[in-house]
Amino acid sequence: MPVPSLDTIVNLSKRRGFVFPASEIYGGLRSSWDYGPLGAELLRNLREAWWTAMVRERDDIVGIDSAIVQARQVWITSGHEASFSDPLVECTSCHHRFRLDKLDDPGQCPDCGGRNTFTEPRPFNLMLKTFLGPVDDDAALAYLRPETAQGIFINYENVRRSARMRLPFGIAQIGKSFRNEITPGQFVFRTREFEQMEMEFFCRPEEAERWHGYWLDARLQWYLGLGMNPDHVRLRAHEPSELAHYAAATSDVEYLFPWGWDELEGIANRTDFDLRAHSAASGEDLRYYDQDADERFFPYVIEPAAGVTRSAFAFLLDAYDEDEIGGEKRVVLRLHPRLAPIKVAVLPLSKKDDLVAITEEVAATLRKHWMIEVDVTQSIGRRYRRQDEVGTPLCVTVDFDTLQDRAVTIRDRDTTQQVRVPIADLVGRLSASLGEEA
């Protein structure tokens, strides 16, 4: 089916515990979101999938976790303090403010309809300020990081030495970033607080173009490998006018959101801009020494940078489906098993004591392997539908025959097919169905 509407996913997310409006009991805070039980698990699974692909399965990438607040000089050197801005305009009629480059009609206010009521655009710095220490003055000024990348660059030499890395190699990081967006919105797509998955891949300058192409393909295949519809995702190269000042080339992995194609992840060739700038400003020599060639140079950097929350949003949209079973409409999230918040639901056919006891036995065994849920309320059909709607790949039904044959029924979310399995073989059969090793 086509990509669902934004309202459909927002309503499902709140109803089923994926995403809640932040500070809701106090009227909410614009574009701030809390992640409920299922949302927290989905984000955790996404981080794990990314970290596994980028770090654990490779011998040329290591990870770090840098501080959210760094020295102010980091952001001066990187250019963020002077130029990390968006064009801001204000409507002189309703006094609402907008990001000029995101207006459908730059001559008409989208809120009050006024024509030619905008002020001249001015740069609006996106970094969120804070102050360190007891006095709020310029000497104490600091910023919440707008990206995780700079924490990698300033630790480049520490990581290279301690991990004994040789080119080409990468440094990966997952963490919170903050941007004081002018016009946040579209659910969790653009928020002021978000989580990034970034990797800086250092290579010889003459190899940068080849590695850029490599990471374009690798990152696209990561989304497809987690079940994203190939018709809903694409690569788009930036035009020269779109490129950041540090980039020789950038392409975006784009997803077909309800409002159209938009960025899911950026993969940039950042050249040697960052290492060269930090080396000059700090006085530290951040050049790489190639012993074989007996030469020193600044490596080029290829940067795949994705958002955890934005990716989760895209996977929710992509997994949403509606079909019919026995003439009854069914909503189902066809999430890849690696992403599904709940891997297995255990459903006893009755609340009678003897079934409850064996259900607890089965559940205790499965909890050692996966995030599971035991659901005992309403009819078995309603419980199946409830698990389908939150993307649970497999259900295990404990019935009265289980008391005699020590077997249970596994039901598949996507096919609805069922198979009877001895409890002794259950972990192995579930692992195979989930595409895992027991």
Mean pLDDT, consecutive 10-residue stretches, the chain (438 aa), reads: 85 94 90 94 97 97 96 90 81 85 84 87 82 82 93 96 95 94 80 94 97 97 97 95 89 95 96 95 95 94 96 96 87 96 95 88 96 92 94 96 94 95 95 82
Q: Where do the structural domains in the chain lie, given as residue ranges? A: 6-84+127-316, 86-125, 342-433
pLDDT in tens, 256-272: 999 999 999 999 999 99
- Long-range contacts, stretch 429-436, CB < 8 angstroms, 24+ apart: 430/343, 430/344, 430/366, 430/369, 430/370, 430/394, 430/396, 431/369, 433/393, 433/394, 434/337, 434/343, 434/370, 434/393, 434/394, 435/337, 435/338, 436/337
- Check residue 425 and report its DSSP letter: G
For residues 94 and 85, the answer to whether their CB atoms sit within 8 Å is no
Give residues with Cβ within 8 angstroms of 300, minimum separation 6. 202, 203, 204, 205, 207, 208, 269, 270, 271, 272
User: Which CATH superfamily groups domain 6-84+127-316?
Assistant: Bira Bifunctional Protein; Domain 2 (3.30.930.10)
For residues 102 and 124, the answer to whether their CB atoms sit within 8 Å is no
Q: How confident is the model at residue 438, as a pLDDT?
A: 42
Buried-exposed string 126-141: b where 16+ CB fall within 10 A, e elsewhere:
bbbeeeeeeeeeeeee
The correct CATH number of 342-433 out of 3.90.110.10, 3.40.50.800, 3.40.50.300, 3.40.50.720 is 3.40.50.800
Q: How confident is the model at residue 1, as a pLDDT?
A: 67
- Long-range contacts, stretch 363-370, CB < 8 angstroms, 24+ apart: 365/423, 365/426, 365/427, 366/396, 366/426, 366/427, 366/430, 369/427, 369/430, 369/431, 369/438, 370/343, 370/344, 370/430, 370/434
295: alpha, beta or left? (left if phi > 0; alpha if psi -120 to 50): beta
For 138, how many CA atoms within 13 A lie in the half-sphere containing its CB? 0
Q: How far apart are CA 178 and CA 174, in angstroms?
A: 13
Q: How confident is the model at residue 359, as a pLDDT?
A: 94
Q: How confident is the model at residue 335, as a pLDDT?
A: 97
What is the pairing mode between strands 169-178 and 141-144?
A: unpaired
pTM: 0.90
